[in-house]
Chain A
Amino acid sequence: MRPFLAGRVMESYRKNFRAFLAFFTPPFVWLVLFFFVPLGIIWLYSFGETEGLTKIRLTWTLENYKRLLEPEIISLFWRSVWLSVISTAVCIVVSYPIAMVIATAKPKWKPWLLLVIILPFWTNLLIRTYALLNILGTRGRLNDLLHWLWSAGDRALSLIGLGDYHLLGERFMPVKFLGEPVGVMIGLVYVYLPFAVLPIYASLERLDRSYLEASLDLGASQWRTFRQILLPLSSGGINTATVITFIPMLGSFLIPDLLGRGQVDMIANVIERQFKSGNDWPFGSALSLFLLYITFILLALQSFHAMRQRKREEARG
């Protein structure tokens, strides 16, 4: 029993002001100088106009933001959002059972199963996307696999005397993944799946098993227990997983760039073009800020939700 623990753990900054300053100043100055000032500059640029090749004049014009409403850009946003929404949904659906397996595994297995899921996440994003590029080509490994399945199926059909009908088509037609939305979605799921597993795993790990046992004891079926007990109690983890996969997906650059082949642009690809080739920095800044605002709104919603959840849990005891 330690009364006043909270008061003792942290000391007031006034008590030892010089020590406080020594610790506080370097990271604070660094953050302001190399993070907030740059963000401030693109904020200013988003109200500017291009003059000549590299000059930008701050005119406080709203033109750059008006351009966000052009049909082209709206369809770009729309594409980015639905690609990310579907990919996030797939991530959650796939990672939930994976998280369940890890959370209920024997203690000595847990770290290893977790490692299996986390390890790819430590591998270079570019290399992973590039690896996927090899798989997804029309002559890539995935199409090899599909071809093999097709042949096997066709042979099986021949065996039972249906060979002449060519139910699976005359010839194997490779599926086009690259340059198609489906290829980009596979890439997004591939890269961000580990992001989704961790928070769900954490929420399942924290869960008191006796809730589930009580539900079963009261006569609920396994499925009902899952739907009405497990799922609601792990909703915090699902929410976190949704937000932390959706945000980077929405802003992803490399995956649509390499797997979309310029056919499936997302917001970041258009931003990149404004800075690298299009040379329209003010519009690029406006687009970046727009992406930033969406991120903030999502984060705010998430923390609001988490706060409500916590309150409810506290009320529960």
Chain B
Amino acid sequence: MNKSESPIISVKGVTKRFGSFTALQDISLDIRPGEIFALLGPSGCGKSTLLRIIAGLETATEGSVAIDGQDMTGIPANKRPVNMVFQSYAVFPHMSVADNVAYGLKLERRPAAEIREKVAEALAQVHLSDFAHRKPDQLSGGQRQRVALARALVKRPKVLLLDEPLSALDAKLRDAMRLELVKLQESVGVSFVIVTHDQSEALAMADRIAVLKDGVLRQLDSPAALYKRPVDRFVADFIGSINMFAVSGQRAEGGQARLETAELGAIAVPSDHLPAAGQGALTLAVRPERVKVGAEAPKEAQGEGGLVSVVGRLGDVAFQGNSSIVEVLLEGGGSLSALVSEAEADHLMQAESGSPITAWWALDDMLILPENATAA
């Protein structure tokens, strides 16, 4: 991505209040040309509101949105160079598929021949050419969504906004559609902004993801960075699965900090591992695939950082196909899970449930997270 390229959408300091309720708190972010950008968060986090503010269907209480360098303040939805695919698709039920797609062009008073050509092209793009004269109630959910896509794309928007585009589809169709949306984006080249509450969806499709919670932007990064370097406990927990241990006490000891946890006991970490910003109690976190299990931990440390190990009892082993999740019941209460290979799982299955087992991981693989990295 070319850093010097100017953003196609620039959101600056957007705050939205509904009465006394703050739906969005001082959001600033840039969307680059040609990328798939996901707004991710649990329901009620304000992600849909932000999308609607970009579309002009909602006005921001404070702050501004610029599209392609132009300030959009005061410009209504019907005059903005962005188009939206709605959660319910909002395909007009009384118009045929072709009429739905043509509607936006007709409003622009384009010549009939041009409209016909563009509609045919758009329908071909979403593989609906044979359905042009059907009514929406003769289409499946997936087909209706393609109509909504074609209808928005035929207007050649600078950015396509998609509000929970896959949530109304069944699981199997959803996976196929993910791939298809990515392909479609590559072929048309315009930026997609996708609102979703499904982290796996965002990870699979997006070039960059903005994680929102309670109207606050918690982290904006690439999927890999979000997974590997979540800035706080919420992001780590929301993206992928992770073992977490609350830190109950903390003491500085030379260049090191001793962190007390109920499950792991006291663990010494270099002071510079501690998060620079944020507030609230610390949490230690480690991804299941970083955790190893065995009869006992290796004696010498691998890497520079050393090892963290903990003794527990073997719990359930959940088969996952090419790998298994092993549950380790900890002495201090609670449990942790480890992702192990099939061979390891077979070996572990022979041990009796409840037999002693050790789990360990490299100190460098362990994240030390604040409760909230952004709060002042």
Direct contact of A and B (CB under 8 A): yes
Q: Which residues of A contact B49 (CB under 8 A)?
A: 3-4
Nearest chain B residue, comparing its CB with the CB of A4: B18
Query: B43 on the interface (CB 8 Å rule)?
Result: yes
Contact mask A1-34 → B, CB, 8 Å, 1/0?
Answer: 1111001000000000000000000000000000
Min C-beta distance of A254 to chain B, whole Å: 43
Number of A-B contacts (CB under 8 A): 14
Q: Which residues of A contact B87 (CB under 8 A)?
A: 2
Residues of B57-97 contacting chain A, CB below 8 A: 87
> Complex Cα distance A4/B48, Å?
11
What per-residue 1/0 map shows which CB atoms of A87-105 lie under 8 Å from chain B? 0000000000000000000
Q: How many residues on chain A are close to B (CB under 8 Å)?
A: 5
Residues of B within 8 A of A1 (CB): 43-44, 197
Q: Are B43 and A7 in contact (CB under 8 A)?
A: no
**What residues of chain A lie closer than 8 Å to B197, measured between beta carbons?**
1
Inter-chain contact A4/B23, CB cutoff 8 Å:
yes
Chain B residues with CB under 8 A of A7: 18
Range for the number of chain B residues in contact with chain A? under 10
Secondary structure of the A contact surface, majority rule: loop
CB distance from A18 to the nearest CB of B (A): 16
When distances are taken between beta carbons in the complex, the residues of chain A under 8 Å from B18 are 4, 7
User: Given the complex, which residues of A lie within 8 Å of B48, measured CB to CB?
Assistant: 2-3
Q: Which of B40-64 contact A (CB under 8 A)?
A: 43-44, 48-49
CB distance from B248 to the nearest CB of A (A): 35
Minimum distance in angstroms from B43 CB to a CB of chain A:
4
Q: Considering the chains assembled together, what is the distance between the CA atoms of A3 and B195 in angstroms? A: 14
Q: How far is the CA of A1 from the CA of B48 in the complex (A)?
A: 10
Q: Which residues of B contact A2 (CB under 8 A)?
A: 48, 87
Q: How many angstroms from the CA of A57 to the CA of B254 in the assembled complex?
A: 104
A2 to B43, CA, bound (A): 8
Binary CB contact string for chain B from 98 to 131 against chain A (1 if under 8 A, 0 otherwise): 0000000000000000000000000000000000
Annotate B1-43 by CB proximity to A: 1 below 8 A, 0 otherwise: 0000000000000000010000100000000000000000001
Task: Give residues in B with beta carbon < 8 Å to A.
Answer: 18, 23, 43-44, 48-49, 87, 197
**5 extra A-B contacts, CB within 8 A, seeds A3-B48, A3-B49:** A1-B197, A2-B87, A3-B44, A4-B18, A7-B18
14 inter-chain pairs at a CB distance below 8 angstroms, sorted by A residue, are A1-B43, A1-B44, A1-B197, A2-B48, A2-B87, A3-B23, A3-B43, A3-B44, A3-B48, A3-B49, A4-B18, A4-B23, A4-B49, A7-B18
Across the A-B interface, give the 7 residue pairs with the lowest CB-CB distance, nearest first.
A1-B43, A3-B44, A4-B18, A7-B18, A1-B44, A4-B23, A3-B43
